[in-house]
Structures are given as structure tokens and as C-alpha cells.
Amino acid sequence: MATIIRSASEGTSNSVQMTQEDLPSEEENCFLARVWSSFIKAMNFLIVSIGNLCCCRSAAPKPILPEPEPLTPQSVPKSSDFSASGPLVMQTPLESENAELMKEINGISSRILLPQPVEDLSVIQDISRLTAQQTVDILVQPEKAPSPSHLQEIRYLNVMGYSQKTNVNQIFASVFLGNYDALRSVDASKGNNPNKFTRVISVTTQDPNTTDEFVRVSIPEHIARMVMKVHDEEAAWIELETHFERLFQFIDDARIAKENILIHCTQGQSRSATVLLAYIMNRFHVSLQDALTFVKTRRFLVEPIPALLARLSQYEKSLKHPL
């Protein structure tokens, strides 16, 4: 049986007769459908890929940012705006304390007149013949002094004598300067550590391991000690200066911990004073004259020997004009 398919176009009418054998089979229709579906998918993938490639190559427009406002005195952050636990540390642990001490020490030699000895031997001989009560009377009533030079010498001897009787003096917070008897007070068998020292710097000519009972001191285990074995000669400065940074940090650690440290030599007058004077000049940025005057107001007998004093003067210049 034949099937007739009619096709119409404008103005004409044609009839085409096709036999059953001329039409595609069902298997051919399925194959063509699969080919068409694959073609459509391939075209879609190609279109998407081309679109993505174009997006990657085209530069995205940059956002326009407003110009930063200039810093004004009101907008500049202050040190108080940062917490101690923040990433920016405005001050070292001792910076504020050092600044206060620098203000106190700087220029002190021009503000304070320390008692000075007289060079007139006749005045010294006159005073040597006075009784203790007579010297006290002159100190209480200066008008009783035979002359201004007599009064000057008596005041000098009074301050010096008091200073020599004192084993240890506090120079500033946590830091003490003293003699060998001050060290003995740390030994549990000789004293009860009245100043609660937790650190000691010994600048001594004696061997710390000596068996001499007068010199040997037993330091409790909880007290840290640095021993500098030097002599009162110019060579002593070389031995000391080599270890200045260690010594200074040792003192800093005591001050940061709010613990007391003793710096001593035999008399607490020259070698140990040299270490402390160098520390004060280094940390507080003051002159040797101001440092020496400041220390003498706390421990009057302090007087480095000329060789060490000359080295301290050179050290002062090196701090002002480092290489």
C-alpha cells in the first residue's frame, strides 16, 4: 500500500508520491537524533568556553579609591592609643624611669655645691686640736668658726666621716653602692641581708674562692653574683670595659624586676663607683661631672683614682661622639 504526502507552496500545488521503502527506518531516526543532540551539546560547550576565555583576558575595571586624608596633629596616634600588649611598643621597660633620672641628674653639678677640703695646712692643724664637742658646736653655730676656711674643712670632714662609717648607700631605686662589709651582710652566717639584695656585682682584687675567712663570703644560692677581679690601675679599665654590656644588663634586669642590687669593691669608693658612673652616663645620657656629683650626694666618699677618672672622661667623649 502506498502512502501519499502532499506538499503545498504559494500559487501551486504539487503531489509527490513516495513508497514505504523511500522513508528512513526507525534505527536511522534514532541515530540522527543522537548525532543532533551531540552537536547541540558541543556547540553549547564551545560557546561557554569562548565566553570564559574572553572574560579572563579582559581586565576588570579597578575601583576608584578616595585620596587619603593628610595626618593632622589631632589625627596622629598618641602613645596612649596603643596598649602594652599591642604590636607597637612605645617605650622600653626602663625608658620612663631613665628619663626621670636624667632630668634629676642633668645639671646637678651646677645646682649643688658639695663640701670641699681646704689646702691650708695651718687650718687643718687647728682643727685637729679641736675637741669633738667644739666641732659640733661650730657645725650648729657656724659663726663660732675661727674663719670660713675652718668652717669649710669641718663641714667636709663631717660629711666624709659620716660617709666612711656607712657600709652601703642607695644611689637610686634598686641600685646600691657599698664596701666589702655590705657584701658580708648578704652572707647568712654574717648578716641577715637587711637590704634584700638579689643580685651582687663584686669588683674586687681578691680571689672570690679564697680560703681567707676575712675575704671569703658565702653567697646564698638565690642571689646572682658577677665577680670582676681587677686592680686599681689603668689596666683595670680595660678589664671592666670589656664586660660593660653584661654588667649594665645585669643592673637593668634588677631594676626591671624591682629587686635590689649591690655594686661593691673593698671601700665602695673607686672601682665599684667607676662601674656605676659608667652605667649612669651610658643609660641616662649625662656628663661625668653631673654623674659624679649625683653619686657623691648619696655616697660622699666616692672618688675614683685619677687613672680611672681619666678613663671615665674618655668614655664620656666616646658616648657623645661614637665611632
Domain range list for the chain? 95-113+167-320
The confidence score (pLDDT) of residue 72 equals 41
Q: Report residue 232's pLDDT band, with 50, 70 and 90 as the boundaries.
A: low
Domain range 95-113+167-320, CATH class: alpha beta
The confidence score (pLDDT) of residue 4 equals 37
Q: Answer whether 306's CB lies under 8 Å from 182's CB.
A: no
pLDDT in tens, 271-315: 999 999 999 999 999 999 999 999 999 999 999 999 999 999 999
Is 265 labeled as catalytic in the residue annotation?
A: yes
Task: Please determine, for residue 186, whether its predicted confidence score (pLDDT) is greater than 70.
Answer: yes
Helix (H) or strand (E) holding 120: none
What is the Cβ-side half-sphere exposure of residue 279, based on CA atoms within 13 angstroms? Answer: 29
Rounded mean pLDDT of 27-47? 69
The confidence score (pLDDT) of residue 107 equals 92
Rounded mean pLDDT of 144-151? 92
The confidence score (pLDDT) of residue 264 equals 95
Q: Answer whether 217's CB lies under 8 Å from 184's CB.
A: yes
CA atoms of 100 and 102, how far apart (whole Å): 5
Cα–Cα nearest to 174, from 145, 149, 206, 199: 199
Burial class (CB in 10 A: 0-12, 13-18, 19+), 193: middle
Residues whose CB is less than 8 angstroms from the CB of residue 88 and which lie 6 or more positions away in sequence, other chains included: 82
The residue whose grid cell reads 666624709 is 160
Residues whose CB is less than 8 angstroms from the CB of residue 24 and which lie 6 or more positions away in sequence, other chains included: 32
**7-11, 215-219, 230-234: which has the highest mean pLDDT?**
215-219
Strands (E), the chain: 3-9, 12-18, 168-172, 175-178, 197-204, 224-229, 260-264
Q: Report residue 220's pLDDT band, with 50, 70 and 90 as the boundaries.
A: confident
CA atoms of 240 and 203, how far apart (whole Å): 9
Amino acid at the residue 109: S
Q: Which of 30, 55, 56, 265 is catalytic?
A: 265
Q: Answer whether 300's CB lies under 8 Å from 163's CB.
A: yes
pLDDT in tens, 86-119: 444 445 789 999 999 999 999 999 898 888 889 8
The confidence score (pLDDT) of residue 24 equals 57
The confidence score (pLDDT) of residue 235 equals 72
8-state DSSP, 182: H
